[in-house]
Amino acid sequence: MNDSSDKSGTTHFGYRDVPRDEKQKLVGEVFTSVAGKYDLMNDLMSLGIHRAWKRYFVATSSVSRGDRVLDLAGGTGDIAALLRDRVGDAGEIVLGDINGAMLKVGRDRMTDRGNVNGFEYVQCNAEALPFPDASFDLVTIAFGLRNVTDKDAALRDMHRVLKVGGQARVLEFSQVTADWFKPIYDFHSFKVLPHLGKLFAGDSDSYQYLAESIRKHPPQGELKSMMQAAGFARCDYRNLSGGIVAIHTGYKV
């Protein structure tokens, strides 16, 4: 269920109910903890398939040379690096992330790759973006929306900063569609993943939270409805890997 409509003053942090104004701090502690192991985290959570999902996510986006793109929850720059060739030298990519540690890792990695020109780094909250209306041709958020406290507010602000005709795309862990696979997926998420997190990153609690956060994220149909309610048109989604993740798309018209 979508936790952003909770009127009681609490929200979900994994399976725990916490005061709404504390979730941002708690999520921040998780990602500060895993920032240096972010690729490892995604490998453990996705069995290494996250790189293929991200390539497909970018390859099927509506973006042209010269476009200005906002990549929210930009993390370590994976999506931005893939977008670079598509927007060309005349384009601009803004990496936005609420977590300073993640943003620093991303900036350092992009610099190490030689990706310097055409990038801007902004520490920002997806619920209240510090950009004017109609600023971007494309807004992306990959594996970040489920960690936002008020998802509805974030979707509305993504819509606000898009230009007319612009596209928003969400790549996120979603609801597995095959009944036979669900117990296998649950076993990996709740039994294997925290142990791997402790073994490789010295942090089982953060990985436990990340597994729980996936289960609390709105399923495909609900997130599509949320995007429509935020003002997006032509909303649709595509399941990848049997619904382990889904790509949601909407347009500003």
Give pLDDT tens digits along the chain (253 positions). Answer: 444 444 458 777 666 776 777 777 777 777 776 666 777 777 877 878 999 999 999 999 999 999 999 999 997 788 999 999 999 999 999 999 998 888 888 898 888 888 778 999 999 999 999 999 999 999 999 999 998 989 999 999 999 999 999 999 999 999 999 999 999 989 988 888 888 888 877 777 877 887 888 888 999 999 999 999 999 999 999 999 999 999 999 999 9
Q: What's the number of CA atoms in the CB half-sphere (13 Å) around residue 19?
A: 3
Q: What is the DSSP string of 76-115?
A: TSHHHHHHHHHH-TT-EEEEEES-HHHHHHHHHHHHHTT-
DSSP annotation of 191 = I
Is the Cβ–Cβ distance between 173 and 244 less than 8 Å?
yes
Instruction: Please report the pLDDT score of residue 7 as a whole number.
Output: 46
Instruction: Please report the pLDDT score of residue 8 as a whole number.
Output: 55
Q: Nearest to residue 232, comparing CAs of 174, 172, 171, 158?
A: 158
Stretch (H or E) spanning 144:
none
What one-letter code names the amino acid at 164? Answer: V
